[in-house]
Structure 1
Amino acid sequence: MRSGNPVLSDSTFLDLGSGAVLSRPADAMTLNGTIAKTGFLLFLTVLTAAFAWNQSISPAGPTAAAPIYMWGGVIGGLIVAFITIFKKQWSPVTAPLYALLEGFFLGAISAVFAHLYEGIVMQAVMLTFGTLFAMLFAYRSGMIKVTQKFRAGVVAATGGIMLIYLATIGLGFFGINIPYIHESGLIGIGFSLFVVVIAAMNLVLDFDLIETGVSHGAPKYMEWFGGFALLVTLIWLYVEFLRLLAKLQSRD
């Protein structure tokens, strides 16, 4: 069983010491515990996002601090994310740290988009959480069933998107831009819509894998890791909504 989210895999919910899931109720992952920790991580993200927003925005445009918070949050968050992925038992510490760092990034990048496109940040926030609850409802009601083919399709699409983004970053160092997909034309908008859909489908796979971990009595610290995994997907979804809305407004 796999998730399209790169921080979740078949062995995510296994006892790392023995290769078997735990069965002791007191030490086991619970759904309510995962929800609570996810909420706490979201609170930490909003906290630093609000701070970075206030430091990055001004009537004249983004301040000089905006790039510092943006790149500091991205690089720091990426480092902590990799540590969390490879040292899942550290997630009670690294997951909150990741949330704080990504909050700086989100606050700064939101300030930049808000200066360029009026009302875009609130629209992206509402769309992100609307999608979260819609996917949760679709999953819990059985409207979307997580089959092996479904997983394989989402995983393949997610991998393709990541490769495109890596190629974009790599080529950007040489002044080369990938045409169309990052522009506000129909192809660019269509690409952003596709990415948003795949990010939303990742939420469904994350729900399924977390539920599997709970049912198998995964270690207690996996509540933090499950919250971390959902936060990764939500941040990706929010940024993609910003990009999509920006492309749509650019056509007006």
Structure 2
Amino acid sequence: MNSKANPFLEKGIKKSRTLSGDRAMTAKGAYTKTFILLLLLTASFVFSFNRMDSISRTLGDGNTGFGTILVISLVGAFILSVVTSFVPKVSPITAPIYAITEGVLLGAISRFIEFSYKGIVLPAVLLTIAIAIAALLIYRTMGALSGRFVKGVLIATVGILIVNLFSFLSSLAFGIRIPLYEGGVIGIGFSLFVIVIAALNLMLDLDVINKLDYYGSPKYMEWYSAFGILVTLVWLYLEILRLIQKIKDN
């Protein structure tokens, strides 16, 4: 089984070869868990987005309060994602908490961006939903994905991660801003490319779920698989948000 589509899923899949007495997972169960995580993320997102001003004032002045919320939610989401990735058995507990924490983080980021780009959040949410549905429909028509397809998407994904890391380090150390992250044709084209790769990763996640079902992975892998899909959807949303920013700047 080629399962290297999503690095968050890959860690746990290697540890789920045997049932060890657990009931086997099902694809239907994984989709149900995904729906639950999406509900939790949406609820915390809406709460954070609508209440960010009052929460920030409670924690301090505007900028200090917002920064506190951002740091706490960012660190919390990162720790939960790492723990879930390396210890998939705890995913029934950590995945829902991650969804809530990530919702707060996305709500805070979206509220901040909304101040400068009025009306940007709703189109980004709708586009994320539309692309996710399109990826699901395309995958259902394609069936199982070939190994060559999986490797191609994996290479592109790793390449994007390397470029992002290089851009961050160069900006931090030398103050150099790469054109890929600016407005203009190059920046918009790069964002479109990243969105396509994120959508393809979503298809790979769906393929992994079906393979886990086929191989009789442990029941807790339903939550773990749902967690992996949620990570991909968050990535997709943030990239769409960035694309709309670039278009508005342009």
Give me the TM-score of the superposition, normalised by structure 2: 0.90
Distance in 2 (alpha carbons) for counterparts of 1:43 and 1:63: 29
Question: Which residue does 1:153 correspond to in 2?
Answer: 152
After TM superposition, the structure 1 = structure 2 runs for residues 188-199 of structure 1, keeping only pairs within 5 Å, are 188-199=187-198
Which residue of the partner structure matches residue 57 of structure 2? Answer: none
1:53 matches 2:49: yes
| Distance in 2 between residues matched to 1:195 and 1:67, nearest whole Å | 28
Aligned to 1:140: 140
- Per the TM alignment, residue 145 of structure 1 is displaced from its structure 2 partner at its CA by 5.6
Aligned to 2:240: 241
User: How many residues get paired?
Assistant: 242
8 Å contact 1:23–1:218 — kept in the other structure?
Answer: no
Inter-partner Cα distance in structure 2 for 1:2 and 1:165: 23
Larger helix percent: 2
Tell me, in whole angstroms, the C-alpha distance in 1 between the residues paired with 2:14 and 2:7: 16
| 1:206-217 alignment, distance < 5 Å | 206-217=205-216
Q: Is residue 3 from structure 1 mapped to residue 19 from structure 2 by the alignment?
A: no
Q: Give 5+ residue unaligned stretches, structure 1.
A: none
Supply the RMSD in Å over aligned alpha carbons: 2.1
Task: Quote the Cα distance in structure 1 between the aligned partners of 2:187 and 2:43.
Answer: 32
Aligned partners of 2:144 and 2:207 also within 8 Å: no
Written as runs of structure 1 = structure 2, the 5 A alignment for 1:96-135 is 96-135=96-135
Residues 53 and 108, structure 1, Cα contact 8 Å, conserved in 2: yes
Percent of aligned pairs with the same amino acid: 40
Using the TM superposition, give the Cα deviation of residue 23 of structure 1 relative to its aligned residue in structure 2, in angstroms: 9.7
Measured in 2, the distance between the counterparts of 1:14 and 1:33 equals 20
Matched with 1:22 is 19
Q: Is the 8 A contact 1:192 1:240 kept in 2?
A: yes
| Residue 182 of structure 1, CA deviation | 0.8
Structure 2 CA distance for partners of 1:54 and 1:63, relative to 1, 3 Å: farther
Please list every run of 5 or more consecutive structure 2 residues that lacks an aligned counterpart in the other structure.
Answer: 55-60
* Per-residue deviation, residues 67-102 of structure 1 (Å, max 9, x unmatched): 322232222111111110100001001111111111
**Aligned partners of 1:52 and 1:69 also within 8 Å:** no
Cα distance between partner residues in 2 of 1:50 and 1:175: 37
